[in-house]
Structure formats: C-alpha cells, structure tokens
Amino acid sequence: MARSLGIHLVAFLTCTAGGSVLAAPNADTTRWITDLGSPQYARREAAAKSLLASGHEALGPLAEAIEKGDFEVASRSVEIVRDMLASDDLDLAIAAEKVLERAAECEGRGERLAAAALEFHQVGTAAAARERLEKLGAVFRERPLVDEAGIEVEFGPDWKGSSDDLRQLARVRGVACVGFHGVKLDATAVAVLDRLHRLEQVELFGTGLSEQSIAALAKKIPDAQLDVRKGGKLGVGARAFGGPCEIRTIEPGSAADQAGIRPGDVIVAVDGDLVEDCEGLTGRVAGRGPGETVRVTVERGGAADGEVERLDVDVRLDTW
C-alpha cells in the first residue's frame, strides 16, 4: 500500500492540475492510510482520528486514497475529508472542498462518494454562510445570468462584520457579483474574491484599497469586471444605455438632491469636462473622493417658452 501511494500521487496531482500542491505522504500518514483498511475497528478509528488531526498534512495522502485506494479505504478517506469541511480553519475547509471537487471530477473509486459528500456539504454550509452574512448586514439579490441564475452580494453602510467574517463569502454558492460600497477592505478581505469561481463583476467604491492592491486583484480575477471608484457619490440614477446623460432618479438627501439637481436634467459636463452619456458621468465622478466639490453643468427644459436652460451647480460629494 505504501509503495502504491508513492507511485500514484503524481498521477493524482496531474489529474488535479491547476490547484494548490498537496503534501506528499510521510511515514505516519502512509501508515494511517493503510490502517483505514484494517479489519480491526479500533485501529481504523485511531487512524481516522490521527489523519483528521493532521489537517493540511493529511490532505495529499487522503486525496490519493480517494482516487486509488480500495473501496473501504476510499470511502473512509472521503469521510475524513468531509469532516475537515466543517473545520473552524477556513483555509483547511476550502482545501478539503477542493480535494473533493477534484476527486468528483476524476475517474476513481471515490468519485461518486466524493461528489455526494461535496453536494451535501455545500448545500448546508452555503445556507449557513449566507444567513451569517445577512445578519451582519450583507444584502443578497438574485441575478439572472446567461445560462443560470447567480447571486449579487452588496456590502454597504449596514455591514457590521469584519474581514474574517467576509471569508464566509467563499462558502456561498453561485456568487456572480460582489459590491463593496464604502466598506474599508484589507488584504484578508480581498483574498476572498480569488476563491469565488463564478465571479463576473466586482464593485469597489470607497474601499481605501491602494492602486497596487487593485492591480494585483485584477490579475487574480482576470475574467471579472472591476468597477473602481474613489468613493465620492453624486446620488443620481441615469439612462443606462446610450444617449445623453438624462437624470431619471435622485436619492433623497443625496449630494445631487441638496445641490438642486432634478429628474429630467441632462448632465453635460463635470468641472468643464464634457459628459456624453451615463458612463461618462460615472467616469468623471469615479476619481473623486467624499467631500470633494465638483461643478456639474446641467441642461434643464420645461420653460414656458420651450427654451433649454443651462446651469452650473456646485455639488459636494457624499460617500458610498
């Protein structure tokens, strides 16, 4: 058995290329893996407890046993990795989840067992993680995608959690968009985004992240669209696609509301720079911080003589 594990580990890692490198078996873990197939109950139980206690060090040998061990050893290895999924060590839980994901994708003795354990775990932990995040102020919305539904998660002014709490996001299934609006982020929080497999869009509004951190994140999630804004907020809703930047809605009490901008106004410039559409307005405001004052030029119709009035309005930006 020990010789078999040493030979087949390379084959298993080839099947799971693209993930983190798992530790090769040492003498203790090899013996414990072998003991999982012992006819003696006490010996099997002792081996299982030792492997579970070894955590990360045991994942490589367990992954190999799921792939290449006999049915008894494979099934007990799946049970041990499944128990690791409930670990308070989130890094260990995520690594164990990846082991089961890869085992479920590779043809092996533990393929179906791994798939079943993974599905049962993901359903339960996803619901618990979402409930915990919602209690801390995160807002979840269903978001239609091309092939299936996805989830949009927003962390805004009501968020009361910490960076460690944000790590729960990695356990939620189907997250397609994450928005941080006025929430200060650190490296721990940013690292969570790299673990979201279906991520399509990330909004970083007033997060305090440095340009270097944002550039590093962009490299880690190249398939996701990043919308980065310094944190200044105008508080308007405008025409979404094409045409002039006509204001449709004004948030009550917002910077735009207090400055006297009205629905129906068309924003044509910010600080003298022309604004041709809604995206242009977003671009002009994105680089401004909370408390900064910008001069917004609007065209306003509705006069009795049909004339369009052009106004310059000074707006002190809110914060996200």
Question: Are 54 and 29 within 8 A, CB to CB?
Answer: yes
Pairwise CA distance, residues 58 & 9, whole Å:
13
The pLDDT of residue 214 is 92
Question: Are 250 and 263 within 8 A, CB to CB?
Answer: yes
Who's near 242: CB < 8 A, 6+ residues apart?
Answer: 277
pLDDT in tens, 38-61: 999 999 999 999 999 999 999 999
Pairwise CA distance, residues 180 & 178, whole Å:
7
Q: What is the mean pLDDT of residues 25-50?
A: 93
Residue 108: band (very low, low, confident or very high) from pLDDT cuts 50, 70, 90: low
Is beta strand 139-144 parallel, antiparallel or unpaired with respect to 225-229? unpaired
pLDDT at 10 > cutoff 70? no
Residue 139: band (very low, low, confident or very high) from pLDDT cuts 50, 70, 90: very high
The pLDDT of residue 90 is 80
Pairwise CA distance, residues 78 & 116, whole Å:
10
Proportion of the chain above pLDDT 70, given as a percent? 88
Q: What Cα–Cα distance (Å) separates residue 162 from each residue in 126, 197, 255, 319, 320?
A: 19, 22, 28, 20, 18
The pLDDT of residue 8 is 38
User: In whole angstroms, what separates CA 146 from the centre of its chain?
Assistant: 19
Mean pLDDT of the chain: 85
pLDDT at 295 > cutoff 90? yes
The answer to whether the Cα torsion of 19, 24, 29, 35 is positive or negative is: positive
Predicted TM-score of the model (pTM): 0.60
The pLDDT of residue 247 is 94
Count Cβ atoms within 10 A of the Cβ of residue 100 and give its class: 0-12 exposed, 13-18 middle, 19 or more buried.
buried
Question: Are 123 and 75 within 8 A, CB to CB?
Answer: no
The pLDDT of residue 304 is 67
Domains of the chain: 2-123 (no CATH), 136-229 (3.80.10.10), 232-319 (2.30.42.10)
Q: What is the mean pLDDT of residues 299-304?
A: 80
pLDDT at 12 > cutoff 50? no
Residue 11: band (very low, low, confident or very high) from pLDDT cuts 50, 70, 90: very low
pLDDT in tens, 164-202: 899 889 888 889 999 999 999 988 888 889 888 789 999
pLDDT at 149 > cutoff 50? yes
**Sequence letter at residue 49:** K
Pairwise CA distance, residues 167 & 309, whole Å:
51
Question: Are 312 and 296 within 8 A, CB to CB?
Answer: yes
- Other CB atoms within 10 A of residue 272 CB: 8
Structure tokens at 161: 């959690």
Long-range own/partner contacts, residues 265-274 (CB < 8 A, 24 or more apart)? 265/298, 265/299, 265/300, 266/298, 266/299, 266/300, 267/236, 267/238, 267/296, 267/297, 267/298, 268/244, 268/297, 268/298, 268/299, 268/310, 269/296, 269/297, 270/294, 270/295, 270/296, 270/297, 271/295, 272/297
Q: What is the mean pLDDT of residues 17-21?
A: 42
**27-41, 100-114, 174-188, 225-239: the lowest-pLDDT one:** 100-114
The pLDDT of residue 147 is 54
**Sequence letter at residue 95:** A
